[in-house]
Amino acid sequence: MEIAGNVALVTGAASGLGEATARRLHAAGATVIVADIAEERGRAVATELGGSDRFVRCDVTSEGEVTAAVEAAADRGRLAICVHCGGGGIAARTLARDGTPHDLDAFRRVVELNLVGSFNMLRLAAAAMAKNDADEGGERGVCVLTASIAGYEGQIGQVAYGSAKAGVIGMTIIAARDLSSVGVRVCTIAPGTIATPPMMMVPEAMRDVFAANVPFPKRLGRPDEYAALAQHIVENGYLNGEVIRLDGAVRFQPK
């Protein structure tokens, strides 16, 4: 898929991986729509990438707000790229040290944000993409979702987040098959430990441990390394239905 000339809807684009991806796709010639619930920061990013009106306030769990964001993006041209980075997690064990079970509503909220939000974004973006004229390769669009290596080997305290991200991993091949008839590809990136704002809020000593645990290179990932992979997935028409780990070969240990 050519990036230049297409519209890219990037969620979670006010910060971290989404922001880096928005900047990269803009530099590659896409019209980028910055979608996030963080309005001030989102508008500031959008202003740098062509105008504050390229920001849309969009809670990815809301049917109405995602529909409106997709419409706003499609109004700008051929919406053919969606990179979905809006998400986040909590830390809580199945049973707390004192034996209290994990709060059920907290579990539901994390699944709602990371799993239901991903599917909401995917289905509504795909519906708009299906109306595009196909390009020379028969493609009408490409969606990149964001899981986590916690979806494979979540650590103690990641039961809600890891379960939700495992759902995103599982969705990838099925959605790619579902959308094959309309020429929309679906891939997922499963990042390891990347130096985005939430990670930079972790105490430095703990970040050093994260970095030391990475076999090579012994450092945290950079947001632009995620963005570069997202760009490659968009451009490489034979990548479909795949989840790609971006983690320097790290495998999370229980703690």
Ligand X SMILES: NC(=O)c1ccc[n+]([C@@H]2O[C@H](COP(=O)([O-])OP(=O)(O)OC[C@H]3O[C@@H](n4cnc5c(N)ncnc54)[C@H](O)[C@@H]3O)[C@@H](O)[C@H]2O)c1
**Cβ 165 vs Cβ 151: under 8 Å:** yes
Task: Mark the segment that binds ligand X (CB under 6 A) among 22-30, 48-56, 79-87, 228-236.
Answer: 79-87
Q: Name residues whose C-beta falls within 8 Å of residue 99's C-beta, 6 or more positions apart in sequence.
A: none
158 binds ligand X, rule: CB under 6 A: no
DSSP assignment of 1-26 equals: ---TTSEEEEETTTSHHHHHHHHHHH
What's the rounded Cα separation, in Å, for the pair 111 and 167? 9
Tell me how far, at minimum, the Cβ of 45 lies from ligand X, in Å: 9
Site stretch for ligand X (CB under 6 A), options 43-51, 81-89, 133-141, 174-182: 81-89
Q: Does 169 bind ligand X (CB under 6 A)?
A: no
DSSP assignment of 61-83, as one string?
T-HHHHHHHHHHHHHTS-EEEEE
Collapsing DSSP to helix, strand or coil, 52 comes out as helix
Residues between 83 and 112 with contacts to ligand X, criterion CB under 6 A: 85-89
36 lies in the binding site for ligand X (CB under 6 A): yes
Task: Tell me if 60 contacts ligand X by CB under 6 A.
Answer: yes
Q: Residue number with the shortest CB distance to ligand X?
A: 16
Query: Is residue 152 flagged as an active site residue?
Result: no
3-state secondary structure of 17: helix
- Positions touching ligand X (CB under 6 A) are 11-12, 14-18, 36-38, 58-61, 85-89, 113, 117, 146, 148, 191, 193-194, 196-199
